[in-house]
Amino acid sequence: MFQKRMVVLWIAVWAVLCLAPAAQAAMPAGFDDNEIRIGQWGPQTGPAAPWGSVARGSKLLFDIVNEEGGIHGRKIKYFIRDDMYNPAQTVAVVKELVERQGVFAFVGGVGSATGMAVRDYLAAKKIAWIGPAAADKDFAFPLNPYLFASYPLYKDEGSILAKYIVEKLKMKKIGILYQNDAYGKDGLEGVKERLATYKMDLVAEIPVEPTEKDMASQVLRLKTAGAETVILYVMPTAAVITMKTAANVGFKPHWVASNTLSDYPLMFKITGGLWEGVITGALAETPDSKSPLMIKYREAAKRLAPEERWGVFYYAGIVFADPIVEALKKVGRNLSTEALLKALNSTKDHQTLGPKVNWTEKQHQGTDSVMIHKCGPNASYIMLQDWTTNDMATWKK
């Protein structure tokens, strides 16, 4: 009997000894005296891999920060994990980063569905997530104290583009081809809301499934509706098929597209040059901009990441990650998640290569502004309109 009790006692003691450090190791602090651990997920392989450059663009910013001595004596240790644009994979890599690597905060993260898969988990773990690389209303509404969005909503962009089409291009017959999901529908909503103020309606509004490989009937419908301008809220492949099909049937409207299609060198190449003349929304300055910050980052990229193409999605990674660097500088040496949140909540008119970002304790959608660019000859960028806010953004009121 005594022996049995001793065995039970030993097991209990060992369990306490083994589990105590394990419990500590389960949630590392996220930083120490020398480093702050920051993570990002993104598709480095798989069908969405072209957008994987966002995560690598953020790396450039952190490399520059580290090269300049870090933030208050701490270097940034940055982790990129490939989720292949698969929400199940995103959950796995985020859990690994949080529970094994002890990440302090996340930046960027391409994709709405992937982000939504980990949004509540990160909030439950009280880990800040700054600048999701997708415009999903559900990121900032209802307010999530740990999530700070800086991507202009597609609804705001749609509204700004529609205003430009009517007031600057003087077009009256507008059609839209939109992806049949939150991305396309938000863009459609913004366009319709704006057109209603001019007492106008779309001549054709046509949904497209993301996997669609044949656009003949949709293009014909736009053509017979007499659309002078067609707005595209679709994926790059669908845009290419649409442009090629339209060229085949001699349909030549003004094409206007979402910022997701603003990588002109890529779009120009895969459409065989048909992308020239297309107008798009833009969430950052043009790649050849002469602004001092753009020059600084462009030159740094040549030195630190010579293998990378200086494309919009690459330096968008800087746009999404920069606010955390500013906030960490503001916090000082006494770092904590609460201090970081406080600094982020006092972000006012912060601007690097993207739009001005404002966050308060009550508002975590940081911007409603986009630029408008046009694809010129040989995939060059022409700036048509500087940062424009959406005067109809209902979420601001």
Query: Which of 34, 197, 217, 394 lies at the binding interface for another protein (CB under 8 A)?
Result: 217
Among 114, 245, 259, 280, binds another protein (CB under 8 A): 245
> Any contact of residue 277 with another protein (CB under 8 A)?
no
**One residue of 97, 128, 206, 301 binding another protein per CB under 8 A:** 206
Smaller CB separation from another protein, 127 or 215: 215
Using CB under 8 A, which of 221, 254, 330, 342 touches another protein?
Answer: 221
Stated length of the chain: 397
Strand, helix or coil at 147?
A: strand
Residues between 139 and 198 with contacts to another protein, criterion CB under 8 A: 180
**Residues from 6 through 45 that contact another protein (CB under 8 A):** 43, 45
> How many residues make contact with another protein (CB under 8 A)?
36
Q: How far is CA 191 from CA 184, 235, 279, in A?
A: 11, 18, 15
Please say whether the beta carbons of 87 and 81 come within 8 A.
Answer: no
209 binding another protein? (CB under 8 A): yes
Alpha helix (H) ranges present in the chain? Answer: 2-26, 53-67, 87-96, 112-124, 137-140, 154-167, 182-197, 216-224, 236-248, 264-270, 292-304, 312-331, 337-345
User: How buried is 305 (Cβ within 10 angstroms: 0-12 exposed, 13-18 middle, 19+ buried)?
Assistant: middle
Which is closer to another protein, CB of 237 or CB of 351?
237
- 207 contributes a contact to another protein by CB under 8 A: yes
Min. distance of Cβ 54 from another protein in angstroms?
14
Q: In a 10 Å sphere around its CB, with 0-12 CB exposed, 13-18 middle and 19+ buried, how is residue 235 labelled?
A: buried
Q: Does 259 bind another protein (CB under 8 A)?
A: no
Task: Give the interface segment with another protein, choosing from 159-167, 190-198, 207-215, 332-340 (CB under 8 A).
Answer: 207-215
Q: At what angle do helices 112-124 and 87-96 cross, to 10 degrees?
A: 30
Q: Which of 248, 323, 326 is nearest to 71 (CA)?
A: 326
**Stretch in the footprint of another protein (CB under 8 A) among 55-63, 241-249, 254-262, 336-344:** 241-249
**Residue numbers of the site for another protein (CB under 8 A)?**
43, 45-50, 180, 206-209, 211-214, 216-218, 220-221, 236-237, 240-241, 244-245, 247-250, 266, 269-272
